[in-house]
Structure 1
Amino acid sequence: MATTPTPHNGAIEGDIAKTVLMPGDPLRAKFIADTYLEDVRCFNTVRNMLGYTGTYQGVPVSVMGGGMGMPSIGIYSYELFNFYGVESIIRVGSAGGIADEVKVRDVVAGMGACTNSNYAHQYQLPGTYAPIASFDLLERAVAAGRDQGVELKVGNVLSSDTFYDDNDQATISWQKMGVLAVEMEAAALYMNAARANKKALCLLTISDLPLKGESLSAEERQTSFTQMMEIALAVAIQE
């Protein structure tokens, strides 16, 4: 294990639980810690990318922001997997729903993550890599959702490098291929997990429908995604 702290994480070895929930927004990490965890301690404030460890139903769980985009979550998840001994990361984020059957506030589980990113280039693979979730985490998330009365929508998501895309037909093209929702991080997380032989899952709450013009406010995105958070926590304590 590499030396800690790292350039991006002020934690030392032992500060972080084996399972980490990772929202993009550090304030959502604080919300999860304040709302759900007991005996909470803050392990990171570097760059205001807040990280906390506590217990949920007696089991150690950590939560830490991952930022926006694949370069950001790529750094934070890489360090958690490779420097801090983290075994599982569950991304809990927001997404734009693009499939016809996806509605605002639905919870989507990214079984696979399509991408327009060049993140996989670093692995020098002789072909196209297909980033996928841990089936173990995915199976437990679906079961936890059903226990809580939430039917997850499971399928492909798109991890995009662009939020404002110059090609106004791009989203429709991905919709035609059955992609459920668009976000910006899952593919990098899944690739980092695969390379480190660890587990990852992306859970998403639909915050807007870009093709229909529906959306939630920034405050609602930060504090109201409780169904997704509770499903992720139920999965975390089974690790």
Structure 2
Amino acid sequence: MSIHIEAKKGDIAESVLLPGDPLRAKWIAETFLDDYFCYNDVRGMLGFTGYYHGKKVSVQGTGMGVPSALIYCHELINDYGVKNLIRVGSTGSYQKNINLRDIVIAMAASSTSGINNSRFINADYSPTADFELFMNAALYAKKNNIPIKAGNVLTADEFYEDDVNAYKKWAEFGVLSVEMETAGLYTIAAKFNVKALSILTVSDSLVTKKAISAEERESSFNNMIEIALNTF
């Protein structure tokens, strides 16, 4: 057991899906996995392991934001030997041509988080996706006629910003959308030489101000999960 995950040795697969919402983890296990079991409910952060087409897969909630996500990523990698981590979460669109329920795959992650400031003094570290996982995801989506957008996303520390127009500068430089964990995930994966990818579904748009409901965020997004499960 680790501090925040009560799984036993062998309970967690080498490939793990990482939704922020623990109830989305439960929905993924119930909807996509066979013979699944719950290995963690410490602090209500649910984790499950089961089989997808005979392949052992785990799903672990991470909570919101880089600090919370890094706790679970660190323990999954160092205490349970996880090799492939795929974030499956929601994102807010920064572009007019990226609409509700569109899928965004993060090739890289800009950030307003200070997570790397103490590591790279007077320098900017650019966390990126694992190329193999990225290509697998893109090729699966293409083969199965699932449209995707791919590019730079923003990992933000604040959900509610003081300046509601702050996103426009990022949008001007081609950032596709905003979320709260990817830069941390890509950084810790690079540090420990494991593979990581972030596959996101647009839940709201800062351009149009449209949004889908919290219930839909928790229990939909099928295409995103399908891509993720066929990426390992």
TM-score (norm 1): 0.95
Select 1:227's aligned residue among 223, 227, 230: 223
Render the CA deviation track for 1:91-116: whole Å, top value 9, x for unaligned.
00000011122111100000000000
Q: Answer whether contact 2:96 2:207 (CA < 8 A) is retained.
A: no
Render the CA deviation track for 1:204-237: whole Å, top value 9, x for unaligned.
000110221110000111111000000001113x
Partner of 1:106: 102
Q: Answer whether contact 2:23 2:218 (CA < 8 A) is retained.
A: yes
After TM superposition, give the deviation of residue 124 of structure 1 in Å: 4.1
Deviates more, 1:123-132 or 1:154-163: 123-132
Q: Answer whether contact 2:201 2:221 (CA < 8 A) is retained.
A: yes
Segments of 5+ residues of structure 2 without an aligned counterpart are none
Partner of 1:186: 182
Aligned residue type for 1:102: I
Question: C-alpha distance in 1, partners of 2:122/2:173?
Answer: 24
Q: Answer whether contact 2:85 2:197 (CA < 8 A) is retained.
A: yes
TM-score (norm 2): 0.97
Kindly report which structure 2 residues correspond to 1:1-239, keeping only aligned pairs within 5 A, or say none: 5-125=1-121, 127-236=123-232
Q: Answer whether contact 1:142 1:151 (CA < 8 A) is retained.
A: no
Question: C-alpha distance in 1, partners of 2:189/2:71?
Answer: 12
Question: C-alpha distance in 2, partners of 1:63/1:125?
Answer: 35
Q: Against the structure 1 CA distance between its residues 169 and 22, is the aligned structure 2 distance closer, same or farther, given a 3 Å change threshold?
A: same
RMSD value, Cα: 1.0
Q: How many residues align?
A: 232
Question: C-alpha distance in 1, partners of 2:206/2:95?
Answer: 10
Aligned residue type for 1:83: D
Question: C-alpha distance in 2, partners of 1:106/1:112?
Answer: 18
Aligned residue type for 1:194: A
Aligned residue type for 1:82: N
Q: Answer whether contact 2:16 2:84 (CA < 8 A) is retained.
A: yes
After TM superposition, give the deviation of residue 168 of structure 1 in Å: 2.5
Question: C-alpha distance in 1, partners of 2:185/2:8?
Answer: 22
Render the CA deviation track for 1:104-147: whole Å, top value 9, x for unaligned.
11000000000001001342456210010001000000011112
Identity %: 47
Name the SS of the counterpart of 2:8 in structure 1: coil
After TM superposition, give the deviation of residue 176 of structure 1 in Å: 0.6
Aligned residue type for 1:163: F
